Structure 1
Amino acid sequence: MNSLLLILIASVVFLVAYVTYGAYLAKKWGIDPSRKTPAHTMNDGVDYMPAKAPVLLGHHFSSIAGAGPIVGPIGAAIFGWVPVFLWILIGSVFFGGVHDMGALFSSVRHDGKSLGEVIGVTIGKNGKKLFAIFAWLTLLLVIAAFTNIVANTFVAVPEAATASVLFIAVAIVFGIFVYRQGVSLAIGSIIGVALLILSIYLGTLFPLQLGKTAWMIILLGYIFVASVTPVWILLQPRDYLNSFLLYAMLIGGFVGVIFMRPAIQLAPVTSFTVGKSTLFPMLFVTVACGAISGFHSLVGSGTTAKQVDNEKDIRLVGYGSMLIEGILATLAIITASYIGADKFKELLGQGGPVNVFSSGIGDFMTSFGLPFATGKSFVALAISAFALTSLDTATRLARFIFQEFFDVSGEGQPSPLTNRYVSTCITVVLGGGLAFKGWKAIWPLFGSANQLLAALALLALGVWLKQSGREHKMATIPMIFMFAVTLVALIQLMFANLGNILLLFFSVALFILAIVLILQAKAAFSKTASISKK
């Protein structure tokens, strides 16, 4: 089997899906380009602020991608490349795309509030509180997992660490000139990309070498600062410029596969049981980003919904971003599949899935003349940039949820726990404490919690669609499957973590919260439509 065929199949399937199924969802749900979005009606210059479609696409994709669509498919390669590839295709089109677009759309129609607000309207205040707790706990796992991944990447590829630090400075300058000095987006983009390339070059000359613990402490301090500053200073410009890294990496990998045409060496299917893992449910939990990921719903209904300039952008940003991530996940499984089992295990042991992916794409790029070391460093920078985006976006989202949870009045009245600095500090301290458990211990639980969050997001979307008189089966059918997958996975993790009190607590707490929310949603879903069609 030639890997070129895999990437071509994925590209054609996703393009057709965007044109057909994406348009179908927009029509059925009633997306209205003439309707004003919260970014305009509630513009505060901090969190609510309209962004042009290319900028918002860059922010949203950079936030949802992180290292997830790389770590997940490569980790699931133990089951063979065929089940992973099929799940990426089916999941992106009928599960993740619906989930992401629906979460973004429903949030836009609820003043850009989090998905918990949608649950509050459709299921009730208790459901909203329970979902907020669930989402916040999941975001702590996101912070813990991605802090580890970024720190490991910086230790393994110190050139990427230097480039990342310089890139943050470039993004701040870009934000100031474009949003406050009136420089056009086109000119700013050209200069910003040039400075980005310079940052990569300087990184190769002056690699920043620190230990993992030092990097983790620095990263936790960074995400605190980044998550409380106005979006125009860092979040929007950095994520927009990040998108160029992504596009370059995707194009480089795609072109490299075309020229190199590497043959698939990994077995199509290995076994239903590999070690202590079974294909069901662990394949669908391990491959989260790249197929469907609950974290995406928090991004869509958190930062992204507050920046949508026009409802017509929802399909591009929500559904389109998920399909682009599917391409990235396809490249990831190719990098794990073309090198053979022995080499795969060796690279995995040296630096984890990110090392496998960076080495693979770097190798593909040599087919059109780029030195392997340069290609690998560039890919490592791109991955760390996405993971950093996911980190501070997750922290900002956790802050939103924390503030909403303790805003008892619903009117934003100030109190210590609704203060953005206090809520962010609590989130960073707890997420950081969990981070020191290590990503290998966190990732399986993160995957289960993340996918269960996706099922809950689909549940909230399904209830809202039904109660507002819209078609809902496109959300409820994948919801049932995701609940079956994730509840079984959590039960398995409970038994696996009997000796680890902290991880056992998370497993049990998430399972109980999910069951209670399912029961409350079932009652709400059976009721006759009771809310207006927003």
Structure 2
Amino acid sequence: MITFLLSIVLLIVGYFTYSKVVERIFGINDENKTPAYTHQDGLDYMPMPWWKGTLIQLLNIAGLGPIYGAIAGALYGPVAFIWIVVGCIFAGAVHDYFSGMLSLRHKGAQFPTLVGRYLGNGIKVVVNIVSIILMVLVAAAFTAGPAHLISSLAPISFSMALVLIFAYFFIAAVLPINRIIGRIYPIFGAILIFMAVSIGGALLFMDNPIPNLTLENLHPGDLPIWPLLMVTISCGAISGFHSTQSPIIARTLKKESEGRKVFYGAMIGEGIIALIWAAAGMTFFNGTVGLQEALAAGGPGEVVNTISISLLGTVGGLLAIIGVIILPITTGDTALRSSRMMLTELLENRFKVSGSKGIILATLPVTLATIYLTTIDYSFLWRYVGASNQIVAAIMLWTATMYLLEKGKFHWICGIPAIFMTGVVTTYIFYAPEGFALAYGTSLAIGATLTLLVTLWYAYKIRTVKPQIDSDAHKVA
């Protein structure tokens, strides 16, 4: 239990200390007018209060991610706590802050546009494809489950439930952000926090103690910690999906100093949620073996349902239904919204298509692709979500690194986690079943070699890039 409580304290301390270091290095300037004012369009660019933006950001980046992923990561034992804390403070929250603030500094630009600016147009083309695929995968993975549950609770078929969900997705993706997302998502974000805090409080009074730190790998299937844990627990530690969501809120900030609370703060909140559910997974079922049996019997949805009802009774049952239905749906619709925004930028730049016609043309393809993928097995989808997710995370960190290098700032704050995540994704691609499925030792060797090559490229950039003065930034008291 001490490890669990200390981990939560460290995350909170990380927000009040390290986030200020990150903000100082980036260099904010509240005299700069934000895109919410300079590009106000009544659709995506609209000023909103920072507290509302924080709750929406938390809901957008979280959903069921820090619940399902943390429960799966709990199979490794308390070592998962280390990854969540270290990953969140030094990688995930930094990643989210820079993805949001760089978007804000570049007129609310989407992630692929930022990549093109700092890593080159060749990488931008790849990232456009990978990012949109990731959005579609996330939306599909977070749709089938709620549709099944709705059909079991109401007198409608699974197909009809899918139709209703996707009708909502389409409407939410094309309506102004203040119509649905700005009004009800802060409420759902608060419910997500309440759900996690309630579970965390109940865990403290269980007969089974929350296990304390051990570096031993407790996975019943004897799967290696590196790099699988870092891909299994993405939401709650570091997730590339967040870099696609941050521009949604970057287009609503009233001033630059709100970025630390919205982007870094929401990620710390997600880290705490992940800690709570990881602790619940490894404690409620009396160890990782019991948790694996529960996951095999009913999947993560049933695990969440069992824990919620057992610890919180009727309220827990209601929260579980809200969690399994509403939270994934709210992640799915913002995934489609961000993919619509990416395609809109592409259509405007390449084909000069804009306005309502561009919005509809950009929304329909991703919606139809998502509908098709909901017919595919969930576990298959989720494996590819994990892989593409962390590839995007590594690319975003390298984008932020090149930005800082170009501005003559302390680039190591992004460069070190970028190297780390490069090692994660290169090793994972060659080891994982959905990748090349090579032997573990071979995958480690290839991953290390590729990471070394990327690090040498980084060293070359450090020597050759000539820093420019950042005229947009200064420290705001």
- TM-score bracket for the superposition, by shorter chain length: 0.7 to 0.9
Report the CA distance between 1:19 and its aligned residue: 1.1
Question: Would the aligned equivalents of 1:266 and 1:337 in 2 still touch at CA under 8 Å?
Answer: no
| Pair 1:379 & 2:376 matched | no
CA distance in 1, matches of 2:36, 2:109: 11
CA distance in 1, matches of 2:158, 2:368: 17
Post-superposition CA distance 1:50-96 (Å, at most 9, x none): 110111011100000011101112112222x2221111111111110
| Pair 1:89 & 2:85 matched | yes
Residues 495, 147 of structure 1: CA spacing in aligned structure 2 closer, same or farther, 3 A cutoff?
closer
The 3-state SS of whatever aligns with 2:78 is helix
Report the CA distance between 1:256 and its aligned residue: 1.9
What aligned pairs does 1:166-177 form with structure 2 within 5 A after superposition? none
What aligned pairs does 1:260-279 form with structure 2 within 5 A after superposition? 260=206, 262-264=208-210, 271=217, 275=221, 277-279=223-225
Post-superposition CA distance 1:168-193 (Å, at most 9, x none): xxxxxxxxxxxxxxxxxxxxxxxxxx
Question: Would the aligned equivalents of 1:467 and 1:528 in 2 still touch at CA under 8 Å?
Answer: yes
Residues 215, 524 of structure 1: CA spacing in aligned structure 2 closer, same or farther, 3 A cutoff?
farther
Report the CA distance between 1:447 and its aligned residue: 0.5
Post-superposition CA distance 1:7-63 (Å, at most 9, x none): 421221112111110111111111123322111111111100011011101110000
Which of 280, 288, 310 aligns to 1:363? It is 310
The 3-state SS of whatever aligns with 1:33 is coil
Residues 417, 231 of structure 1: CA spacing in aligned structure 2 closer, same or farther, 3 A cutoff?
closer
CA distance in 2, matches of 1:529, 1:9: 42
Give the match for residue 175 of structure 1: none
Give the match for residue 170 of structure 2: 224
| Pair 1:255 & 2:192 matched | no
CA distance in 1, matches of 2:456, 2:160: 45
Give the match for residue 253 of structure 2: 308
What aligned pairs does 1:20-419 form with structure 2 within 5 A after superposition? 20-79=17-76, 81-154=77-150, 158=153, 208-260=154-206, 262-264=208-210, 271=217, 275=221, 277-300=223-246, 302-338=247-283, 339-340=285-286, 341=288, 343-365=290-312, 372-408=313-349, 413-414=352-353, 419=358
CA distance in 2, matches of 1:351, 1:377: 19
Question: Would the aligned equivalents of 2:4 and 2:210 in 1 still touch at CA under 8 Å?
Answer: no
CA distance in 2, matches of 1:273, 1:348: 13
The 3-state SS of whatever aligns with 1:419 is helix
Gaps (5+ residues) in structure 1?
A: 159-207, 366-371, 499-513
The 3-state SS of whatever aligns with 1:420 is helix
Residues 115, 9 of structure 1: CA spacing in aligned structure 2 closer, same or farther, 3 A cutoff?
same
CA distance in 2, matches of 1:463, 1:267: 36
Gaps (5+ residues) in structure 2?
A: 438-450, 473-477
Question: Would the aligned equivalents of 2:145 and 2:324 in 1 still touch at CA under 8 Å?
Answer: no
Report the CA distance between 1:251 and its aligned residue: 2.9
Question: Would the aligned equivalents of 1:100 and 1:319 in 2 still touch at CA under 8 Å?
Answer: yes
Question: Would the aligned equivalents of 1:404 and 1:418 in 2 still touch at CA under 8 Å?
Answer: no
Give the match for residue 197 of structure 1: none
CA distance in 1, matches of 2:338, 2:180: 15
CA distance in 2, matches of 1:400, 1:526: 36
Residues 495, 137 of structure 1: CA spacing in aligned structure 2 closer, same or farther, 3 A cutoff?
closer
Question: Would the aligned equivalents of 1:117 and 1:128 in 2 still touch at CA under 8 Å?
Answer: yes
Give the match for residue 474 of structure 1: 413
Give the match for residue 528 of structure 1: 465
Residues 515, 240 of structure 1: CA spacing in aligned structure 2 closer, same or farther, 3 A cutoff?
farther
CA distance in 1, matches of 2:385, 2:203: 31
Post-superposition CA distance 1:425-479 (Å, at most 9, x none): 1001112212211211111111111011100010111111111222211111011
Question: Would the aligned equivalents of 1:127 and 1:517 in 2 still touch at CA under 8 Å?
Answer: no
Residues 143, 522 of structure 1: CA spacing in aligned structure 2 closer, same or farther, 3 A cutoff?
farther
The code of the aligned residue for 1:304 comes to: I
Most deviating of 381-390 and 109-118: 381-390
The 3-state SS of whatever aligns with 2:308 is helix
Most deviating of 228-237 and 351-360: 351-360
CA distance in 1, matches of 2:122, 2:460: 13
Residues 459, 126 of structure 1: CA spacing in aligned structure 2 closer, same or farther, 3 A cutoff?
same
CA distance in 2, matches of 1:92, 1:530: 29
Most deviating of 307-316 and 338-347: 338-347
The 3-state SS of whatever aligns with 2:184 is helix
Post-superposition CA distance 1:260-280 (Å, at most 9, x none): 464137995664875484322
Residues 147, 270 of structure 1: CA spacing in aligned structure 2 closer, same or farther, 3 A cutoff?
farther
Question: Would the aligned equivalents of 2:430 and 2:436 in 1 still touch at CA under 8 Å?
Answer: no
Residues 530, 122 of structure 1: CA spacing in aligned structure 2 closer, same or farther, 3 A cutoff?
farther
Give the match for residue 373 of structure 2: 434
The 3-state SS of whatever aligns with 2:256 is coil
The 3-state SS of whatever aligns with 2:349 is coil
Report the CA distance between 1:212 and its aligned residue: 3.6
Give the match for residue 198 of structure 1: none
Question: Would the aligned equivalents of 2:220 and 2:289 in 1 still touch at CA under 8 Å?
Answer: no
Identity over aligned residues, as a percent?
27
Residues 19, 265 of structure 1: CA spacing in aligned structure 2 closer, same or farther, 3 A cutoff?
closer
Give the superposed CA RMSD. Answer: 3.0
Give the match for residue 430 of structure 2: 491
